[in-house]
Amino acid sequence: MGKLPTQTYQDIDLRTPAELSEHLRNKLKLKNLQAKEAFKKKHPHADKFLQEKGVELANIRTHSAKLLGTGALAAGLLLNNPSQPLTFPSPNQIVANIIGQGQLSSLITPQEQVLGALKQILPEKPQPLDRTTEKALENLFKNEIGIPAKATLEGEHLNTTYGLIGAEQHLYRYPGDTLAQHGSGAVLDEGIAPGLGAWGYFAYSKDKLTPDLEEDEKWYAVVQTLYLPNWNQRARYLIGWYKYRKVLIVNTVNGKAVVADVADAGPAAWTGKQFGGSPEVMNYLGGPRYKKGPVIVFFVDDPENKIPLGPVDYSTIKLPQVVGQAI
């Protein structure tokens, strides 16, 4: 039997956000300790084995990221070695061919060319790419999309550049900000995140919110800085480096591209996603119902800050220069 109207007040949680957070932490921590204890008790030999190897299950993700980083580098060196026989076109050859075709075939749009190249270059499922593939993609994006984007910029590289992006909520831009002030229509459907973005408020007050900062929130991206192999050792530097760092996001299914800036950390590895996008980013990449999909994320090489945030429209056919000249 349901509760009487006079009793429903009992369902209202009157705890403060800090108390709710503490409650959640305590519950998660307790379960964590139980899991660790059970593992040690049931498999002491495995616990000992891991200790001897210097590997902690708690830090297995960081350990794996380190191994993957080293492996990708080695694979890149191997694939760049000209003594290795290649029985199929390399990603660079594929991109070179496609860029070459673009000059001849004016009926194929750059977007179609990018999609064609992505289909040939990328593995079937999102996964870390080797350096050769990443270099080929850099070439493709620069020539066809017109954005100088790099997988490794100033020595920094994400754990993966090819992964799944998920829909994020709007972020509070200043104290007192509300969802209604973030636009209208479908972009409001995701709501606003209860917590702040990775760098806190975008501005101290509404009157300090410049059009640039407004764009920063509108076109923000989320990347998994927390799983970078050396995040703990270099956190101070990396926080500064990643703050509002521009990234090029390319939807590998439809070729749509957007320049976004990093404004939050995540998603958690156990969500099955590797990146996140603001409602505007997601709406542009895949429409109002787009919640998750494969993308490439590269850093934009824009030292003079000339490339604007937002959609990159490269769908129109680039006609050879001679076409416009008078006969």
Partner 1 sequence: MSAIFYDHLIILDELDSEIKSVSGSREEKEELWKIVDETIHHRVMDVILSRLPRESHEEFLEKFTQSPHDRALIKYLREKIKDDVEEIIHEEIQKLKKELLADIHKKK
Omega prior to 294 cis, within 30 of 0: no
Give 255 or 266: the residue with its C-beta nearer to partner 1: 266
Q: Which is nearer to partner 1, 24 or 78 (CB)?
A: 24
Residue placing its CB nearer to partner 1 in the complex, 15 or 206: 15
Which stretches of the chain bind partner 1, using CB under 8 A?
Answer: 13, 17-18, 20-21, 23-25, 27-32, 35-36, 38-39, 42-43, 45-46, 49-50, 53, 55, 57-58, 60-61, 63-65, 67-68, 126-128, 159-160, 162-163, 193-200, 226-227, 264-272, 274
Joined together, the tokens standing for residue 179 give 């969802």
165 forms beta bridges with 275, 293
**CA–CA gap between residue 326 and residue 31 (Å, rounded):** 75
Phi then psi dihedrals of residue 54, to 5 deg: 75, 25
Comparison of 109 and 160: residue with beta carbon closer to partner 1? 160
Nearest approach, Cβ of 48 to partner 1 (angstroms)? 10
User: To the nearest whole angstrom, how small is the minimum distance from the Cβ of residue 61 to partner 1?
Assistant: 5
Q: How far is the CB of 163 from partner 1 (least distance, A)?
A: 5
Phi and psi based region of residue 155 (left: phi greater than 0; alpha: psi -120 to 50; beta: remaining)? left
Axis-axis angle for helices 131-140, 91-104 (nearest 10) = 10
How far apart are CB 112 and partner 1 at their closest, in Å? 27
Residue (144 or 168) nearer to partner 1, CB: 168
Phi, psi of 230 (to 5 degrees): -115, 30
From the CB of 144, what's the least distance to partner 1, in Å? 25
Counting Cα atoms < 13 Å in the Cβ hemisphere of 324 gives 4
